Structure 1
Amino acid sequence: MDGTLLSHHSQSVPESTKLALKILKEKGIYTFIATGRHISEIKDLPLENLEFEGYITLNGQYCYNRDGVIYALPIHQQDIQQVLNLIEEKPFPCIFVEDEKMYINYHNQAVEKVQNAISTPLPDLGDLKRGLTHPIYQVIPYDVTVAQEKAILKQMPHCQHTRWHDLAIDIIPREGGKQNGILEILKQYHIKIEETMAFGDGHNDIDMLECVHIGIAMGNANDEVKSHSDDVTDDIDHDGIYNALKKYQII
């Protein structure tokens, strides 16, 4: 979504992308959002009332459509307990993400900087111990050093992580990822992998780009992401999605 569908320079979805999505819908081609974001964040973004068949959220851990939940994969409870122990010993800002809500233990300048970068308000404050009694699908530590990052991951052996900002990482179940959510969606809709295309620009898009039949990196993606794609299109502010769909004669 960020840097692919939504431009943080213009704070909007490019007009060419809106047109491309309109044409895809008219042709009966299903479109899905695959994002690290939570449903509450998606609702607050300026998506111009765009409609999608379904949503692969929290980096693949929570997938749903208008009829309900298709797939959900929470973090192991042992890992939740152990990250809570770390936060109690040496506090750092951390978001816990449930199915319908997300909350953080406290705000600081790092949290403010990251949230501004993704055009999103500060998360609500909440008691992280709630995670001991409610399924947590994603944990987002902020403002942690490299040493702290390693310590966190050591205490969460059932998990993997992705750094999506200099000051923030996403932690999800080890067997999770966008590719896992995509495969569940394809199963639900009886779609073959040969019929898929995906666009991405971030490190958390790599497994998705490798999973689908045609993985397209945005021009604004970094070199690592581009190296894992089948093709590279223009950046988001220069009609990247529209141009790629035209190139492959899909629209």
Structure 2
Amino acid sequence: MIKAAFFDIDGTLVSFKTHEVPASTVRALHQLRSQGILTFIATGRHILTVNNLGNLKFDGYMTLNGSYCFIDLKVIYKHSIPPADISMLVNYLQEKANFPCIFVHENALYMNYINEQTTKAFQLLNFPQPPILPLTEAAQGEIFQLIAFFTPSQEMEIMPQLPHCQSTRWTSLFSDIIPLGSNKQIGMQKIIEHYGFSREEVIAFGDGGNDIPMLQYAGISVAMGNAKDAVKQSADYVTASVDEDGIYKALTHLDIISAHPF
């Protein structure tokens, strides 16, 4: 029996076209909660940038690709990037190639500068632009994630210089750099361990490359119709796209909720 459901945000809960949660998804989430099934967010976003879920309530949040998890405002797991790796990145940006980068702190986000690529990404995701600080200031303090607007060739060059980090890319515009050993599977594990659930009692929904570890771990995994092929191949079931009531259709098809006319 399913006891918990995990949902990615962008392209899964929220449409890239409307930047809103479809009405069918809202209904599905309410049905899950009415049946006693806990619902959780599983996102690469920082909680300060989760601006597109309306009044929906969730039982917990796995943010920053599993690096920062909390329930009822209580942090149950966090994993930051070692300062040595941050120093190496700053040196690279200063000495070799300066690309836009968002430095994600526990309670704030900063970036070094913006360009056309960052503007395009912010518009696509309806993502609030972080404050701009000089590179050395933006990189001060504990960092939980980096959002690097670098090219694939720059990614191949710089990632070996960050030995305690890994890159997870779900869009051509940027990559999320997270601590080695963190991903959405780890975040899911921390949350279900908190509640005493098994992986077989969990369903997960996603559409991006950063969702694959979570989909491979969950008892039942669902890829959205708008997902890339690699994501679909990692899931147990492929549903319709976010704009075609994919979450509602999957949950009714799998008999987790009952179908009702709109």
Q: TM-score higher than 0.5 here?
A: yes
1:230 Cα deviation (Å)? 0.7
Listed as ranges, the gaps of 5+ residues in structure 1 are none
Match of 2:29 in 1: 21
1:40 is aligned to: 48
Q: Distance between the aligned counterparts of 2:252 and 2:214, measured in 1?
A: 21
Q: Contact 1:233 / 1:241 at 8 angstroms: preserved in 2?
A: yes
Name the SS of the counterpart of 1:84 in structure 2. Answer: helix
What does residue 72 of structure 2 align with?
66
2:39 is equivalent to residue 31 of structure 1: yes
Contact 1:41 1:120 in 2 (8 A): yes
Structure 1 contact 103–128 (Cα < 8 Å) conserved = no
Q: Which amino acid aligns with 1:14?
A: P
* 1:208-247 paired onto structure 2 within 5 Å: 208-247=214-253
The corresponding residue for 1:163 is 169
Between the aligned partners of 1:28 and 1:127, the Cα distance in structure 2 is 48
Amino acid at match of 2:34: E
Among 198, 202, 218, the alignment partner of 1:192 is: 198
Aligned residues: 248
- Preserved CA contact (<8 Å) 2:192 2:198: yes
Q: After superposing the two structures, state which structure 1 stretch, 192-201 or 122-131, moved more.
A: 122-131
Is it true that 1:107 corresponds to 2:114 in the alignment? yes
- SS state at 1:170 partner: strand
Relative contact order: is structure 1 or structure 2 higher (C-alpha 8 Å, sep ≥ 6)?
A: 2
| TM-score, scaled to structure 1 | 0.95
The offset of 1:167, in angstroms, is: 2.1
SS at match of 2:38: coil
Q: Secondary structure at the match of 1:56?
A: strand
- Answering whether residue 143 of structure 2 is matched by residue 117 of structure 1, we say no
- CA deviation string 1:189-244 (max 9, x = no partner): 11111100000000100001001001100011011110111110111111111111
| Deviation >6 Å, runs of 4+ | none
* Higher mean C-alpha deviation, range 124-133 or range 32-41: 124-133
Question: Which amino acid in the other structure matches residue 151 of structure 1?
Answer: E
State whether structure 2 residue 82 is matched by structure 1 residue 76: yes
Q: Measure, in 1, the Cα distance between the counterparts of 2:189 and 2:48.
A: 24
What displacement does 1:136 show?
0.6
2:227 partner amino acid: A
Q: Percent identity among equivalent residues?
A: 46
- Give per-residue Cα distances to partners, 1:170-194, cap 9 Å, x unaligned: 1011111000010000111111111
Taking structure 2 as the reference length, the TM-score comes to: 0.91
Q: By how many angstroms is 1:133 displaced?
A: 4.6
**Which amino acid in the other structure matches residue 226 of structure 1?**
K
Deviation digits for residues 58-106 of structure 1, max 9, x if unmatched? 0000001214101000011111110010111121111100111111001
Q: Is the 8 A contact 2:111 2:138 kept in 1?
A: no
| AA partner of residue 201 (structure 2) | E
In the alignment, structure 2 segments of 5+ residues that lack a partner are 1-8, 258-262
Q: What is the RMSD computed on CA atoms of the aligned residues? A: 1.2
Q: Secondary structure at the match of 2:80?
A: coil
Write the deviation string for residues 138-165 of structure 1: whole angstroms up to 9, x where unpaired: 01111x2333112220210111111222
- Is the 8 Å Cα contact of residues 103 and 139 (structure 2) preserved in structure 1? no
Asked whether the equivalents of residues 79 and 179 of structure 2 are also in contact (C-alpha less than 8 Å), the reply is yes
